[in-house]
């Protein structure tokens, strides 16, 4: 009886997973929330260690999560709120963790996973606009910085450049500062500069140091 019950539960779980994956627009939900328990672990940690007023928050996906921001900016109250595999929809689901802390500054980098899941740049930009609007509503004193999506493998160039144009407009519409990192990481063939990466997506140490240098003037300013 127990063996039958376990088998039945496993079959039902597999059916649910397949159904989620096949639903239009649910691919990111499937990958981030069903397959990867790392998202839940990070979310739980962030709940236990809340943002404080005046903090400098880096919000995004694995590119942000892999940055050792406290070492890159040792004199600042930085908080790394990146989660590997996250998307604009994932950030919207956990945004309250940021807004209720009322941080001093928020540096946002998100969208490359959305593109990887096949989402259109217009839809991604719309989600970012929703996120910025909610930040303004719930934490109006937070200075917002929208960073351009970084290059990755060359076949993504057109989509990334389309998305970045849209994000620049969204940032302006919401009074956020636009930080165009993209050209500083771009190789001649339209991909992420291979001296900065070992997988055409994530950054090596030199990439984070380049990023740090681009951000430093905005972290030294009052807002």
What pLDDT was estimated at residue 21?
40
Q: Are residues 90 and 200 in the same domain?
A: yes
Q: Are residues 112 and 26 in the same domain?
A: no
Output 186 or 223, whichever has higher pLDDT.
186
Q: Is 14 among the domain residues?
A: yes
Quote the pTM value.
0.85
What pLDDT was estimated at residue 205?
98
Residues 58-113: tens digit of each pLDDT: 999 999 999 999 999 999 999 999 999 999 999 999 999 999 999 999 999 999 99
Q: How far apart are CA 193 and CA 209, in angstroms?
A: 14
Q: Is 125 among the domain residues?
A: yes
Q: Are residues 3 and 106 in the same domain?
A: no
Domain count, the chain: 2
- Show the tokens assigned to 7: 């088998």
Q: Is 91 among the domain residues?
A: yes
CATH of residue 140? 3.40.50.1110
Residues in a beta bridge with 58: 80, 107
Q: How far apart are CA 91 and CA 110, in angstroms?
A: 9
Helix (H, G, I), strand (E, B) or coil at 177: strand
| Domain with 84 in it | 51-220
Q: Are residues 112 and 194 in the same domain?
A: yes
How far is residue 49 from each of residues 68, 141, 203, measured CA to CA in Å?
17, 21, 26
């Amino acid at each position: 009886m127990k063996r039958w019950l376990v088998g039945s539960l496993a079959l039902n779980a597999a059916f649910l997973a397949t159904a989620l994956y096949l639903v239009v627009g649910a691919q990111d939900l499937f990958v981030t929330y069903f397959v990867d328990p790392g998202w839940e672990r990070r979310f739980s940690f962030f709940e236990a260690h809340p943002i404080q007023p005046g903090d400098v928050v880096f919000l995004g996906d694995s590119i942000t999560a892999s940055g050792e921001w406290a070492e890159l900016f040792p004199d600042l109250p930085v908080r790394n709120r990146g989660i590997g595999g996250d998307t604009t929809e994932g950030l919207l689901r956990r945004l309250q963790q940021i807004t209720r802390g009322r941080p001093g500054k928020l540096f946002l980098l998100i969208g490359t996973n959305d593109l990887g899941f096949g989402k259109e740049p217009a839809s991604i930009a719309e989600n970012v606009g929703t996120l910025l609007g909610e930040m303004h509503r719930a934490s109006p004193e937070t200075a917002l910085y929208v960073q351009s999506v970084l290059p990755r493998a060359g076949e993504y160039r057109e989509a990334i450049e389309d998305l970045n144009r849209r994000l620049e407009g969204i940032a302006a519409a919401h009074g956020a500062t636009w930080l165009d990192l993209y050209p500083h990481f771009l190789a001649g063939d339209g991909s992420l500069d291979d001296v900065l990466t070992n997988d055409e997506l994530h950054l090596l140490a030199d990439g984070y140091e380049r990023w740090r240098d681009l951000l430093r003037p905005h972290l030294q300013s009052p807002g």
